[in-house]
Amino acid sequence: APRLDVTLNLFSCSSNDQNCCCDATSPSLLRSIVEVWQTRPDGLYTSLQDAKHSVCRAKLPVQSRNGKAVVQFTTVAPGSTGAFSGLGPGGLDWSPYGVPVLHMLFAMQDHAPFVHDLPILMHATTLQRKDFRLSAFDWRGVSWTRPSPKATRVEVVGWQPESGTVRIEANVYLTVMESSTDEAVTREEALEREMCPSWVAGFPGSFHVEPLAVCFPSILGFFAI
């Protein structure tokens, strides 16, 4: 599988419009952690229950580069997950297969948390970036793709293939969370709302895109994941 060298440039924004009022030097960003997880190149996820084998999950500290908040990491290109999400007997999966993605959780202090699925779809030989679009007859829909926010919060600004490695650079726009006098929302409540919009586990819109460990931990024991 191709190697990925990923750089995330973090911006603290006072509104959902990244063209206005964004700061790359916010002190709260420099004290934060970004969580990243993905499938292995064969499209299967590593175990959620055995930390020693969770090789495709990482908590990455935000670093300062020239005074700006940056996250950098190296991984391999993820594989595509099928209809069973790798939960069939012996890891059995079946078509249709979804687009490979890097899952990223941004839960910074004083900022509204959100989860982003960064598509890693590329040409097999040139490693040039390809776009992913659902056709009118593709029933996967929200089973594989989280709803897109009105404002683009992650913008890929660089994709450079070179000798089996792809260097990816993206800007991440984080919105400052404003406290309301009418309804005080804690960071934990905001995170759960972002990651777990469904009421019931197992529907197409929840099972593949909502993390079981956060949203439905009671059913973890039923799956060898």
φ/ψ of residue 30, rounded to 5: -75, -10
What confidence tens digit (pLDDT) does each residue in 168-177 have? 999 999 988 7
What confidence tens digit (pLDDT) does each residue in 104-120 have? 989 888 888 888 889 89
CA distance 116 to 86: 21
**Cα R_g (the chain), whole angstroms:** 18
The answer to whether 136 and 37 have CB atoms below 8 angstroms apart is no
What confidence tens digit (pLDDT) does each residue in 177-201 have? 776 544 456 666 777 777 777 766 6
User: H or E element: which one contains 189?
Assistant: helix 187-195
**CA 211 distance to own-chain centroid:** 11
The answer to whether 119 and 132 have CB atoms below 8 angstroms apart is yes
The answer to whether 1 and 38 have CB atoms below 8 angstroms apart is no
Cβ-in-10-Å burial (0-12, 13-18, 19+) of 8 comes to buried
pLDDT of 149 above 60: no
CA distance 172 to 106: 9
58-64 mean pLDDT? 93
Cβ-in-10-Å burial (0-12, 13-18, 19+) of 15 comes to middle
CA distance 197 to 219: 17
pLDDT range class, residue 98, cuts 50, 70, 90: confident
CA distance 69 to 115: 18
User: Residue type for 218, please?
Assistant: S
pLDDT of 62 above 90: yes
CA distance 102 to 79: 10
Whether pTM > 0.85 for this model: the answer is no
Q: Which of 5-14, 47-56, 78-87, 147-156 has the lowest mean pLDDT?
A: 47-56
The answer to whether 142 and 63 have CB atoms below 8 angstroms apart is no
